[in-house]
Chains A and B, each alone.
Chain A
């Protein structure tokens, strides 16, 4: 069974704080790494799809990096806002077209 680990499980920060969390995945059979944001009572929303070692992607205040050799990705949020409160999921896509999701990091940003 392939394990995708996310840490921390939950995070509480103040508005304006910057934060980051980790997704760890196997370094073999890697095809792509997806990040999703899932707000309560809504559907998961795609943030990034990353494929290349060393890749860095940015969307507004959110950015992500990828290290496929050591099997990890970081998601950064700069200057967190209450609307950033959500569960952030990563998903590993292997060479056999199978997705493996982590359990997510639940972020709560206090005003």
Chain B
């Protein structure tokens, strides 16, 4: 059974640029959630995708967007990067039922200069 993987591990961008982060779900999982964790805080829910459709969204602006592919892998896109977007971005996959455990990837550390 393959775990959740994320790429890249680290990324440095400048203000105003765009970034795409990638997540491969654990085998058999059809739901992916994305989180932003700023220093000293808990993960903040960005959105969730279930079978290629957005299935819940947190309080993030529209410049945070996502996709889920037929193989249930996922992308998080952030446009017009701001300094405050510097954070660890985590994805988590599950089988879709809300009561099921989420399995997290190792995260992507994004630094915006």
Contact = CB atoms under 8 A, between A and B. Distances in A.
A103 B37 CA distance: 10
Contacts, number: 60
A75 B92 CA distance: 22
A44 B40 contact: no
Chain B at the A interface: SS class: loop
A103 B40 contact: yes
Interface in B56-113: 56-59, 90, 92, 98-107
B102 A46 contact: yes
B101 A49 contact: yes
Interface residues of B, number: 28
Size class of the A contact interface (CB-based, 8 Å):
20 to 34
B30 interface: no
B14 interface: no
A1 B59 contact: yes
Q: Which of A51, A89, A99, A104 has the most CB of B within 10 A?
A: A99
Nearest to B94: A46
Nearest to A100: B45
A45 B59 CA distance: 24
A43 B42 contact: no
Contact of A99 (B4, B45, B105, B106): B45
A111 to B, nearest CB: 27
Nearest to A51: B99
A26 interface: no
B65 to A, nearest CB: 17
Interface in A24-60: 31-32, 34, 36, 42-46, 49, 51
A22 to B, nearest CB: 14
B75 to A, nearest CB: 19
